[in-house]
A and B are shown apart, each in its own frame.
Chain A
Amino acid sequence: MIVAERKGFEEIAASLSGFRKVLVVGCGTCVAVCLTGGEKEAGLLAAQLDMAAQLAGRDQVFEVACVERQCDREFLDELAARAPEFDALLSLACGAGIQFLAERYDEIPVLAGVDTTFIGVNDNVGVWEERCRSCQSCLLSTTGGICPVALCPKGMLNGPCGGTADGQCETDPERACAWTLIYERLSRTGRLENLARLVPLRDNARASLPGRRTHPAYQRRYSAHA
């Protein structure tokens, strides 16, 4: 899932100065699971903003809405009746959701309440860890299900660098060396021969443009001759 963290309160409050009526829009999917931008967090932030405005004597009104996913048009449509009443929308979705909300309601200023941080896993209650850089060329089949692009600070693709020591990374003694983990996993599963295969250079051209993908079943629908 996509993991995000709330921006600093002062930064959010400063971005809203000059807007009297603000709708705090939560997103019920990834950012709700990582306790950053779901319905509850939108309610908390709106309560905080309301308190801060009152304490500072500012005449501002904050209301709360939450849609299932801000990265889906059908859910953004739910706000169509409400959104025009507001001077600004404060989105707590990931960067994709914020942009889609701004595109859908492009006559209303849309502001970001969170910083999108990474694609990761729920490592423990309240703890998330990055596991994927969405590099568009997945190596996990050969690397024992451990991603060197995301987990190795240098992104080494063909074995560890010279800085690995006792299974730890030279950049941080608390961090395990991704390539040591890969070696151990491949060894346990009898696939050490994978290490002898050279991973070709990454095609960075693919990552230099915004990705766009059409499911094969829909390609005919969106082709020029449909």
Chain B
Amino acid sequence: MNQRYDPKVLALICTYCTYTAADMAGSMRLQYPSNVRVIKLLCTGKVDVLYLLEAFRSGADAVMVSGCEIGDCHFLEGNLRAKERVAHARTLLAEVGLEPDRLEMFHIGASDAPKWAQTVDMMTRRALELGPNPLRLRAGAEQTKELEVRT
């Protein structure tokens, strides 16, 4: 059975800025790929490196963390901490042999709906270019034995 590769992009985003931007993108009827799965957090400072690794173990093809613009965090430095943790998680991914580019940190302000749409589009295209997360392949091996990779 052939199955189309439909990337799963997980977005861990803060409620104050990026989520507001995503909400506004909906109000503005902006189009972006439906591959993104959003998890809303009070602050990206809540993002733990373990969450990020767990996302890939669970089969996410790409993970984006997006918080407020630098200097705009409601909790002062949550987005800065997230930035450091994402950088650390990328080194851990590289150690195990998974492409670090599957994970990226962004800063999207509350009024920047177009940037949200562009970023989701960019991460979805990146996930398509990188191909399916091999861990996802293993996890769902019986369903995805013959993948047709759409690029």
User: How many contacts between A and B, using CB within 8 angstroms?
Assistant: 39
Pairwise interchain contact A51-B50, C-beta atoms closer than 8 A: no
Query: What CA separation (Å) do A56 and B97 show in the bound complex?
Result: 9
Query: What CA separation (Å) do A119 and B60 show in the bound complex?
Result: 41
Which residues of chain B (28-80) have a CB below 8 Å from chain A?
48-50, 53-54, 56-57
Q: Which residues of B contact A40 (CB under 8 A)?
A: 48, 50
Interface residue SS majority, chain A: helix
Nearest CB of A to B40, in Å: 23
Interface size class of A (residues with CB under 8 A): 10 to 19
Q: Which residues of B contact A44 (CB under 8 A)?
A: 49-50, 53, 92
Pairwise interchain contact A51-B96, C-beta atoms closer than 8 A: yes
Q: Does B117 contact A (CB under 8 A)?
A: no
Query: What CA separation (Å) do A126 and B40 show in the bound complex?
Result: 28
Q: Does B135 contact A (CB under 8 A)?
A: yes
Interface size class of B (residues with CB under 8 A): 10 to 19
Q: Does A140 contact B (CB under 8 A)?
A: no
Q: Which residues of A contact B4 (CB under 8 A)?
A: none
Pairwise interchain contact A47-B135, C-beta atoms closer than 8 A: no
Query: What CA separation (Å) do A40 and B50 show in the bound complex?
Result: 8
Given contacts A44-B92, A47-B57, contact A52 B97 (CB under 8 A): yes
Which residues of chain B (95-112) have a CB below 8 Å from chain A?
95-98
Nearest CB of A to B145, in Å: 15
Given contacts A43-B50, A44-B53, contact A55 B96 (CB under 8 A): yes
Q: Does A48 contact B (CB under 8 A)?
A: yes
Given contacts A9-B96, A55-B96, contact A50 B50 (CB under 8 A): no
Q: Which residues of A contact B53 (CB under 8 A)?
A: 44, 47-48, 51
Pairwise interchain contact B50-A54, C-beta atoms closer than 8 A: no
Q: Which residues of A contact B56 (CB under 8 A)?
A: 51
A33-60 vs B, Cβ < 8 Å mask (1 yes, 0 no): 0000000100110011111101110000
Q: Which residues of B contact A50 (CB under 8 A)?
A: 57
Q: Contact partner of A48 among B48, B95, B134, B138, CB < 8 A?
A: B95
Which residues of chain A (45-84) have a CB below 8 Å from chain B?
47-52, 54-56
Q: Which residues of B contact A9 (CB under 8 A)?
A: 95-96
Q: Which residues of B contact A10 (CB under 8 A)?
A: 95
A residues at B contact (CB < 8 Å):
9-10, 40, 43-44, 47-52, 54-56
14 further A-B contacts with Cβ under 8 Å, apart from A51-B57, A51-B135, are A9-B95, A44-B49, A44-B53, A47-B50, A48-B92, A48-B95, A50-B57, A51-B53, A51-B56, A51-B98, A54-B135, A55-B97, A55-B98, A55-B134
- 27 A-B residue pairs with Cβ-Cβ distance under 8 Å, sorted by A, are A9-B95, A9-B96, A10-B95, A40-B48, A43-B50, A44-B49, A47-B50, A47-B53, A47-B54, A47-B57, A48-B53, A48-B95, A49-B96, A51-B56, A51-B97, A51-B98, A51-B135, A52-B96, A52-B97, A54-B134, A54-B138, A55-B96, A55-B97, A55-B98, A55-B134, A55-B135, A56-B97
